[in-house]
Amino acid sequence: MPILAGIALIRAPMTIYGWWLLSTPDPGQLFTNKGNKPRRLLRGATIIMGVCIYLHSVLTFMHTQSLFSLILAKAETFSAGPLQPDEMLEIVLALISGFAWVVEWIAWIVIFFVSLNYLRWLASRIPSARMYKSAERFRWLGPLIYVVGSLCLQLGPLVAMVLYYNLFNTLRIVLKKIRAKVARPTAVAV
């Protein structure tokens, strides 16, 4: 568990930074629909997820047991009397850790759907009908693959993650092409 918590501590700032960069508003945009709602939701959920990752990881480093194992341990020694202060503290920390984990997952679900909405908005702006359709399809296909595939040797989450990555990699490639076109100097007629 401490190794996974350490990886999460490295992953959290990278995740926040990546989503923050992707959802940066375009100051040169002239459209009335600026994509503000999904952009703000994406940024807010990312910050919440990052805070929860840090909280959960720090509590994991403190060797906090799960609430279930604490209750089982106390049930075995129930005749020993009331809870001691250190046991109470351990239970409170386990509750906080569990709550942070649940909020982290809720934030990740929000990020998943909002990021696809934001990607659809970006695709309509680029314009890329293929990327728009892919984002729209993946809103229902991603969770289906994840859930059904979880029942099949846990391959669903891996497949869903690869498809999600490919979707954003397509965006990266398209933006790279646009950037190259803009950066290319134009010939001046003499």
pLDDT at residue 186 above 70? no
Quote the percentage of the chain above a pLDDT of 90: 19
Q: Measured between alpha carbons, how far is 150 from 1 in angstroms, rounded to an integer?
A: 21
Q: What is the pLDDT of residues 14-48, one digit of tens each?
A: 888 988 888 887 766 656 666 678 888 999 999 99
154 pLDDT band, cuts 50/70/90, is confident
The token pair that represents 100 in the structure block: 């942070």
The owner of tokens 């998943």 is 112
Residue 67's nearest CA partner among 21, 114, 99, 35 is 99
Report DSSP state, residue 78.
Answer: G
Who contacts 144 (Cβ-Cβ below 8 Å, separation ≥6)?
A: none
- Please tell me whether the peptide bond between 127 and the residue prior to it is cis, using omega within 30 degrees of 0: yes
- Mean pLDDT across the chain, nearest whole number? 81
Who contacts 93 (Cβ-Cβ below 8 Å, separation ≥6)?
A: 59, 62, 64
Identify the pLDDT of residue 61: 72
The distance of Cα 180 from the centroid of its chain, to the nearest Å, equals 29
| pTM (2 d.p.) | 0.77
The owner of tokens 């040169």 is 28
pLDDT at residue 68 above 80? no
Q: Measured between alpha carbons, how far is 188 from 184 in angstroms, rounded to an integer?
A: 13
Q: Measured between alpha carbons, how far is 30 from 118 in angstroms, rounded to an integer?
A: 17
Most confident of the ranges 35-39, 42-46, 52-56, 62-66: 42-46
Q: 94 near 66, Cβ under 8 Å? A: yes
pLDDT at residue 178 above 60? yes
Quote the percentage of the chain above a pLDDT of 70: 77
Q: What is the pLDDT of residues 98-136, one digit of tens each?
A: 888 899 999 999 999 999 998 888 888 888 888 899 999
Identify the pLDDT of residue 103: 94
Identify the pLDDT of residue 46: 92
